[in-house]
Amino acid sequence: MSDSADPLTIFSSGATDVGRRRAINEDAFLRDDELGLWVVADGMGGHAAGEVASQEAIDTVYGMVKRGKPALDPAVADREKALASACRLLEGAVQAATYMVFALGEMDKGKSGMGTTISAMMSLGDFMITAQVGDSRIYQIRSTDVVQLTEDHTLVAWQLKQGLITEDEAKHSRHKNVITRAVGNRDYVQVDTGVVELEIGDQYLLCSDGLHGYLRPEEIPQVAASGGSASVKRFIELANARGGKDNITAILVEVA
């Protein structure tokens, strides 16, 4: 699948912070550079259920990808077929997480209705596969350009897409935090998947809304410029300095 003589090197840094207003951190994240899998999950639900949902979802996605990814061959001649298989694997992993979290909620009525967002990214050769449910996000930083690769599954985002409200109205909407898709509050969820071709120098920011809610997209390249754990720390400090009303999680994935 790769035309380059040398394979790309992909490495990451990540951290999570409870923020300034919450007593419990319901976010969870995973970064496995060797496997090529990075996930951010933002849990929801009372009585520590959000914390359970996010971690269980990540554990399930990790287990599915760890078992299934070795069967994917990034060097096959039929690139489209290989990428489609990778999308099915990551989508299937998120669906498995959905069923797992839902089942746990059914078994424990105190956790009934718990759920989590999932923003996941998996490498395959010179490509990244993304999977999205909820309102955590994945951004691509290429030079000074920033692209949001994922779509928020929120009521406000849907209203914007339908032309029912303006950008300014969206910023001040009372429904900003109403999620239209989540992992675990039902036994099935529609998962968005995508494919992005990598370039040397690319950076990818996976984050919960506790970070992106305080960020302007044009600020991201500058904060990410130093790279590594220093940039991740700066992202979290920035969110806390601007209010820190939610848990904050960031993973910065870099391509060299």
* pLDDT for res 1: 57
Burial zone of 177 (CB within 10 Å; 0-12 exposed, 13-18 middle, 19+ buried)? middle
SS3 of residue 137 by DSSP? strand
Burial zone of 68 (CB within 10 Å; 0-12 exposed, 13-18 middle, 19+ buried)? middle
Which of 231, 158, 150 is CA-nearest to residue 192?
150
* pLDDT for res 125: 95
What domains are defined for the chain? 10-255 (3.60.40.10)
pLDDT digits (tens, 9 = 90+) for 6-18: 789 999 999 999 9
Residue ranges, the chain, pLDDT below 50? 2-4
Report the predicted TM-score, pTM, of the whole model to 2 decimal places.
Answer: 0.93
* pLDDT for res 47: 65
pLDDT digits (tens, 9 = 90+) for 119-128: 999 999 999 9
* pLDDT for res 83: 97
What DSSP letter does each residue of 61-123 carry, written as one string? HHHHHHHHGGG--TT-S-HHHHHHHHHHHHHHHHHHHHHHHHHHHHH-GGGTT-EE-EEEEEE
Percent of the chain residues past pLDDT 70, beyond the cut:
96
pLDDT digits (tens, 9 = 90+) for 168-205: 777 777 776 789 999 999 999 999 999 999 999 999 99
